[in-house]
Structure 1
Amino acid sequence: MKKILSLMGMALLMASCTDDYKDWAEPFSNAPEDPYSISFTASPASPIDFATISGDKVLLFNSTIEGPEGAAATEYEVVLSDESGENQTPVEVDAEGYANVEELEAAVYGLYGRRPVARTIPMEVGVAINVKGASIVKTASTTLTATPNAPEIEEAYYITGTPNGWNNSDTSLELTNGGGDVYENPVFKVLIPATGSDISFKVTPKSGLGGDWSKCLTASDTEGKFATNNAGADLKIPHVEGAKFYRVEFNMLDQTWKYDALNFNTYIWQAGNGNGWGSPASPLYSPAGDGKYTGFMYLDGEFKFRSGEDNWNAPDWGKGASEGTLAEQAGNLSADAGYYKVEVDLGALTYKLTPITTIGIVGPAQAGGWDADTDMTYNKETGAWEATVELAADEMKFRANDGWDINWGGTENNLTQGGNNIKVATAGKYFIQLFAYCDSKATFKMTKQ
């Protein structure tokens, strides 16, 4: 039996001339045998381009029935498949093989996405044929050619305007969708520093860099929409008092845009299962005030980021629409139990977790020199990485994962990423606690035994 039989669950049983000739409650495989030697074939209909199609229904296939005089189709069912055949979507059709355009478009998008290229789509057609008072079921395989309706979306776009002196070759202000298929994730964002005055700009696609203004996105006559092919006036962001940045967002599929005025705090905070939902909250630091924060903390299941150290006053940030993204006042995020470097970009509304499996003491003050660490142990009760170690009067640092990508140096009350080597003044056995946290709040303690 063809795949359509088990998927559709069709049943078309023997019935009188006045019946509908179908009973969907029974499995399709229970259909009667064909005593009439009827043949049924389906062939492709004309290709469909959803960008130009008119009307609310469209023919999916051409059918041919050969058999006794009067044999005629009374019902069709159709299933479309992706290229692998593993994912299938039924499409409702009428007795002549026509489908609703909107429903068909949704089915094609679901299987193949919205990239506007012609797709040859495997199609299974089931038919109920009325012949001499009986309903006989037949199936046939064919294809449907369809082109999704979507504007052309490039891989990258750039701000060209007052922030960069209208330099059409400048790529410093890049709008990105965070990666992936631009038709699955068509929202591109960029953070523009506030200038203290109105901002005027166009959006240059990658193919237009270097002086080709004809491809730029500009303002539309409709509020919140943009025009293509440099067809409108400059886009504008009016000055907002107190704003440090503007987060600009373009939906290239819907051809809409918007901006938000932002004034980032120096710190945000993480609260979740790993710290008793903020007792105390774990800090993340943005040294440039640009909404890009980094912190080091223990996570254990659900958590969120919030703007208050000791309260949930808005805004707070949780689970976004896709992996690695954030949304305001949204549901809880989640991570496996462990220690992490946590990076948050509130301009792009994204976050990244880098697992930290080890933190060790490294340098000639301990036995392994600069090549081998003395590992520390994380204590969830104190929030510190701890070790008891014999130290020489020499230099040391702390580093994570036996590498130098993440390392702490400086003084006891002011450790920073990549900071200076730590001087051990007196040799001896020490109990050492490292409170990793973030720059400006990371510290350590050395207690001589």
Structure 2
Amino acid sequence: MKKLSLYISIALAGLFMGSCSEDFKDWADPQTNPQEDAITIPGFTATAAQAIDFASVTTDSVNTFSLSSAALPEGFTLGNARIELTPQGVENATKTTVNTSLDGKGAVADLASVVESAYGKRPTARTFDAQVYVNAIKEGQAVLIDAGKINLVMTPKAPFIDAAYYLVGDMFTTDDVNGWNTISDKQTFKHSDKDVYEDPIFTITFETTKADQYWKIIPKANVDAGNTDASAAGVVGPKVDGEDSMTGSLTNGDAKAGKIAKAGKYKLTLNMMDYTYTFEEVKYDPFIYFIGATDGWKSSDQKLALVDEAKGVYTGYVYVADPNGAGLQFKFQRVAGSWDNEINAGAFVSFGGAATNENGNIGVNAGEGVYYFDVNLSEGTITATKVETMGMIGGFNNWDGDAVMTWNAEEYCFEATNVGVTADGWKFRVNGGWDINLGGSLNNLTAGGDNITVAGNTVKLYPTRKTNDNIYCTVE
């Protein structure tokens, strides 16, 4: 762009040497805006186009503004245009530039990206301050014209997504309950705490004991209105009655009933942004394997054990460290050493205790150490409790207070010497409480197990299942 002084000289030389018309007298005395390095021309302004609803746009570009028909001086042509968009009502909002044609048309993809970045994908009308700039060119020299500021209103394209959904059908029918018109917790799809237009994924895990079980999905709006009729308006289902595909499309207009052909445990995932569904047969393996920064993402020796086969609940202890400065992050593998069907942060809608979502990886926020994990794959929850103290309590200390153990990072064990445990009973417990405790056989310690009845002075507890499928201890 050339400075204003250059523009004035060009305008004066190019215009008034060739024409004395009063139509162009204002160009010789333009208003200026030093901050924008642009000039304003009386009568040369932009007018906002009608509000844009991207759901009804069928072309690649859309009108955002129109320019007035003020005549240009002789020899000048308009080169190109752009709008600088700033979202209204957004704290610390930033400008985004979108190039347009001279008739105000901007690319739908560019404009949609701007509104979604600022406000998200929820289909609500959003207003932007839109500063319009146009270039005027003569003999290769350009000046920037400020055509004014307009309000540009845009609505993102997105389907209706309710706040919650409920699965109904034959699999929930019993002698006392009609599974088609009753709603319970076990029929509720799980969802994260994000806006449904930022995270349109809903999941539910359930079991059907019979073949050829039919299903539909009822939205929260219907339930809130007291209407749980599976044939009511707004109900979601496949487009074809009896559809038994494991993946397919959904509709909320004249929805039909889908069918589960084979008895079993299933996870049903909905993507309500594109109205699709996916069924997966659920088979919970005996263990899930920890892999992460502790071992440089190379070893999957530590593991959690399946304790509830119906719900896919795994519990156990894991040593989380960060020797390479990569962050206290990790994942779980269903098969040790295999990344197929890995368990990452996306598997969970709830992170409890010290567990965190680290951009796809799972993390902890309480520092390096041993953590007790409770992972529920069917409900999508994970809770991490840092073991601040691993203690022993029992008859040897009158069940009063804990004999605190020390973590040995080389042997992956808690250890204590000269502790003097006695055969009249004792247990391990975490953080001085009984919520998390271990007892039972030395070779197979379990949560809430019986008192241990072995005497000794040196005790080592191996909680991570790194070298054994069981949690175990040695007493000498």
- TM-score calculated relative to the size of structure 2: 0.73
Q: Is the 8 A contact 2:347 2:380 kept in 1?
A: no
Q: Following TM superposition, by how much is the alpha carbon of 1:59 offset from its aligned partner in structure 2, in angstroms?
A: 2.0
1:342 — aligned with what? 373
1:48 to 43, 46, 52: 52
2:207 — aligned with what? 193
In the TM superposition, 1:143-222 aligns within 5 A as 143-165=151-173, 166-171=179-184, 172-209=186-223, 211-213=228-230, 214=232, 215-221=234-240
Q: Following TM superposition, by how much is the alpha carbon of 1:352 offset from its aligned partner in structure 2, in angstroms?
A: 4.8
- In structure 1, how many angstroms separate the alpha carbons of the residues matched to 2:373 and 2:454? 33
Q: Following TM superposition, by how much is the alpha carbon of 1:125 offset from its aligned partner in structure 2, in angstroms?
A: 2.5
Q: Is the 8 A contact 2:86 2:96 kept in 1?
A: yes
In the TM superposition, 1:391-430 aligns within 5 A as 391=421, 395-420=425-450, 422=451, 430=457
RMSD, aligned CA: 4.0
- 1:357 alignment partner, SS class: coil
Letter in 2 for 1:238: A
Per-residue displacement from partner, 1:19-47 (whole Å, max 9, x unpaired)?
xxxxxxxxx9898775x865765454321
Q: Following TM superposition, by how much is the alpha carbon of 1:234 offset from its aligned partner in structure 2, in angstroms?
A: 0.5
1:431 to 458, 468, 472: 458
Q: Aligned in 2, Cα 1:379/1:303: closer, same or farther, shift over 3 Å? A: same
Q: Following TM superposition, by how much is the alpha carbon of 1:182 offset from its aligned partner in structure 2, in angstroms?
A: 0.8
- 2:143 alignment partner, SS class: strand
Letter in 1 for 2:313: K
Per-residue displacement from partner, 1:326-348 (whole Å, max 9, x unpaired)?
xxxxx976666422223444446
1:238 to 258, 261, 275: 261
Q: Aligned in 2, Cα 1:415/1:216: closer, same or farther, shift over 3 Å? A: same
Q: Following TM superposition, by how much is the alpha carbon of 1:155 offset from its aligned partner in structure 2, in angstroms?
A: 1.8
- In structure 1, how many angstroms separate the alpha carbons of the residues matched to 2:38 and 2:91? 31
Q: Is the 8 A contact 1:292 1:344 kept in 2?
A: yes
Q: Aligned in 2, Cα 1:321/1:380: closer, same or farther, shift over 3 Å? A: same
Letter in 2 for 1:56: D
- In structure 1, how many angstroms separate the alpha carbons of the residues matched to 2:303 and 2:124? 47
Q: Aligned in 2, Cα 1:308/1:151: closer, same or farther, shift over 3 Å? A: closer
Q: Following TM superposition, by how much is the alpha carbon of 1:217 offset from its aligned partner in structure 2, in angstroms?
A: 0.8
Tell whether 2:393 aligns with 1:374.
no
2:85 to 80, 92, 95: 80
Q: Following TM superposition, by how much is the alpha carbon of 1:186 offset from its aligned partner in structure 2, in angstroms?
A: 0.3
Tell whether 2:120 aligns with 1:113.
yes
Q: Is the 8 A contact 1:78 1:125 kept in 2?
A: yes
Letter in 2 for 1:236: K
Tell whether 2:348 aligns with 1:317.
no
Q: Aligned in 2, Cα 1:359/1:250: closer, same or farther, shift over 3 Å? A: same
Per-residue displacement from partner, 1:70-107 (whole Å, max 9, x unpaired)?
78754222222341243443222111222122331222
- TM-score calculated relative to the size of structure 1: 0.77
Per-residue displacement from partner, 1:129-155 (whole Å, max 9, x unpaired)?
458976244264332211112122122
Letter in 1 for 2:317: F
- In structure 2, how many angstroms separate the alpha carbons of the residues matched to 1:279 and 1:49? 51
Q: Is the 8 A contact 2:167 2:216 kept in 1?
A: yes
Q: Following TM superposition, by how much is the alpha carbon of 1:164 offset from its aligned partner in structure 2, in angstroms?
A: 0.6
Q: Aligned in 2, Cα 1:365/1:12: closer, same or farther, shift over 3 Å? A: farther
Q: Aligned in 2, Cα 1:425/1:100: closer, same or farther, shift over 3 Å? A: closer
Q: Is the 8 A contact 1:360 1:376 kept in 2?
A: yes
- In structure 2, how many angstroms separate the alpha carbons of the residues matched to 1:163 and 1:32? 69
- 2:307 alignment partner, SS class: coil
In the TM superposition, 1:297-308 aligns within 5 A as 297-301=318-322, 303-308=330-335
| Structure with higher strand content | 1
Long gaps (5+) in structure 2: 12-32, 174-178, 323-328, 351-359
2:22 — aligned with what? none
2:386 — aligned with what? 355
- In structure 1, how many angstroms separate the alpha carbons of the residues matched to 2:43 and 2:437? 74
Between 152-161 and 125-134, report the one with greater CA deviation.
Answer: 125-134
Q: Following TM superposition, by how much is the alpha carbon of 1:432 offset from its aligned partner in structure 2, in angstroms?
A: 1.9
1:104 to 97, 105, 111: 111
Tell whether 2:61 aligns with 1:57.
yes
1:24 — aligned with what? none
Matched residue pairs, number?
414
| Structure with higher helix content | 2
Q: Is the 8 A contact 2:444 2:472 kept in 1?
A: yes
- In structure 2, how many angstroms separate the alpha carbons of the residues matched to 1:415 and 1:318? 26
Q: Aligned in 2, Cα 1:276/1:321: closer, same or farther, shift over 3 Å? A: closer
- In structure 2, how many angstroms separate the alpha carbons of the residues matched to 1:174 and 1:97? 47
Q: Is the 8 A contact 1:49 1:146 kept in 2?
A: yes
